[in-house]
Structure 1
Amino acid sequence: MAGAAALMGAGAAGAQTRVPVLGEPAKALDTPALRGNRMARAFREPPAGLAVPAVRVERREGVAPLKLQPGLTLVSLWAPWCAPCLHELGDLAKLQEKFGGPRFRILPILTAPREPITAAEAGYLLKKHNAGVFAPVIDRGADSKGLFQALSVRETPNGPARPGLPCNLLVAADGTVLARQFGAPMAGMVNGTGEGGKVTAADVAKVGTLWATFDGEALMSALSKGEIAGGSGARSRPLVS
């Protein structure tokens, strides 16, 4: 796996593979403070007009339309079958505790589960992966894949565009997607020690993700202050559901 910031993605069986970084760098993160930031460079410019669709989500208190809070939200789409998603949740939880506030927060949403799942079960998974700071939120759009189908479709180097996870989206309060990132961004080269050189969860854990590095914290610090190109994303603009 080449490069110090190789990206890990989930295949059909949750196996970890390289995910090419395609597309132009995100314009929203092209600020003097973030130029040269490896985590910011992992985010790409989203397709024109991409926005969070009107979907219903399940929380412990019940099912209701998804509402975004004022400011900026990092929406992290994850699924129980996505090993890289589960791996990065713990790092995202630490960043939420340090940088989450009225102008910025991280919102993991479980989407595209392969088996029916309850909010209680989702909460158990979050705690198991050191992300208990997050309340469980489950996509209850069409076939529980509303967000997966609408937001995570990306170009592929070979073949047609298709959805995939992990998918992290920087979203304004009106639902506009400002930047998008795929794959767990690794902080170094991962060497597989499993059978046939397969990368194991332990191999990935030894390296860690870019979220847990200085660059990851610098990006979260900027977002918590609303520091994005083109002006602050911290204005109160409710998502129409």
Structure 2
Amino acid sequence: MANGKFHLPTGRLIALAIVAGMSAGALGVYVMGAPSGNNLQVASVAEPAGNTCPARDEKTASVDAAARGEVAAMLAAKPPLSMKELAFNAPDGTPMTVADLSGKTLLINLWATWCAPCRHEMPALDQLQQDMGSEDFEVVAVNVDTGDDEKPKAFLDEIEVDALGYYRDSTLGLFNDLKRRGLAFGLPVTLLVDDEGCLLAHMNGPAEWASDDAKRLIEAAM
């Protein structure tokens, strides 16, 4: 436990993520490939040329160099891809896309109440938002539980998460879109997206997001 937040060894958290993802069933998730460092590689899917982001080499190189320590599992996007059309619901329940948050660097995290590693890293994501959230940066934690809002909201109330907006997708459409792109195999999934909606780095599995390592990564992206 660090700074009063939950903390488990990264290897154990990733193992839990795989078990939780497989036991969920509804997502139909599976591991593709073998472990590499702290992360699990996912088979890439060819993107149409219009979905790529040109002229991001310098920024992705900075992010890649900053992906160390607690966030060493973050993989630089090669090539950077546009995430502008990723869709989910805003905290007020209205449909939105990543494009609606243009102008901000985003750490987009997909989580569910049945995913044990997601639950453990949620306080750290909340702390990161408290420490760095601004007009220029936001942690966008998107709950992907199916069904109504009762269970995820009760969980967030229980652990006293109050800095994160309640973003939501109960359809699994967001997860399946990332799976199709080769960016997701289970939960949690985290995307680092720049202020123009371009993916700079991505990660399957949890991390200690309240750490100095995580903050240096965000600063490199900004």
Which TM-score applies when normalising by structure 2?
A: 0.66
2:177: which partner in 1? 150
**Structure 1: runs of 5 or more not aligned:** 156-160, 186-209, 227-241
Q: Aligned pair 1:103/2:136, yes or no?
A: yes
Among 184, 188, 212, which residue is 1:166 paired with? 188
Q: Deviations over 1:169-191 (max 9, x none)?
A: 01123332111011113xxxxxx
- Give the Cα separation in 2 of the matches to 1:222 and 1:147: 26
Q: Aligned pair 1:176/2:176, yes or no?
A: no
Query: Percent identity, aligned pairs only?
Result: 24
Q: Deviations over 1:72-93 (max 9, x none)?
A: 1000111121111111010011
2:94: which partner in 1? 63
- Give the Cα separation in 2 of the matches to 1:32 and 1:177: 11
Q: What RMSD in Å do the two structures reach over aligned CA positions? A: 3.5
Rg comparison, structure with higher value: 1
**Contact 1:139–1:146 (Cα < 8 Å) also in 2:** yes
Q: Deviations over 1:180-213 (max 9, x none)?
A: 011113xxxxxxxxxxxxxxxxxxxxxxxx3233
Q: How many residues are treated as equivalent by the alignment? A: 183
**Contact 1:77–1:109 (Cα < 8 Å) also in 2:** yes
Query: Structure 1 128/152 Cα, relative in aligned 2: closer, same or farther at 3 Å?
Result: farther
**Contact 1:79–1:85 (Cα < 8 Å) also in 2:** yes
Query: Structure 1 46/134 Cα, relative in aligned 2: closer, same or farther at 3 Å?
Result: same
Query: Structure 1 222/127 Cα, relative in aligned 2: closer, same or farther at 3 Å?
Result: farther
- Give the Cα separation in 2 of the matches to 1:36 and 1:52: 20
Cα drift, residue 105 of structure 1 = 1.2
Correspondence list, 1:11-26, <5 A: 11=19, 12-13=22-23, 20=36, 21-23=39-41
**Structure richer in helix, relative to its length:** 2
Q: Aligned pair 1:220/2:218, yes or no?
A: yes
Cα drift, residue 23 of structure 1 = 5.0
Q: Deviations over 1:109-147 (max 9, x none)?
A: 112x2x4022x543332232342221211125xxx1121
**Structure 2: runs of 5 or more not aligned:** 1-8, 25-30, 43-56
Query: Structure 1 60/76 Cα, relative in aligned 2: closer, same or farther at 3 Å?
Result: closer
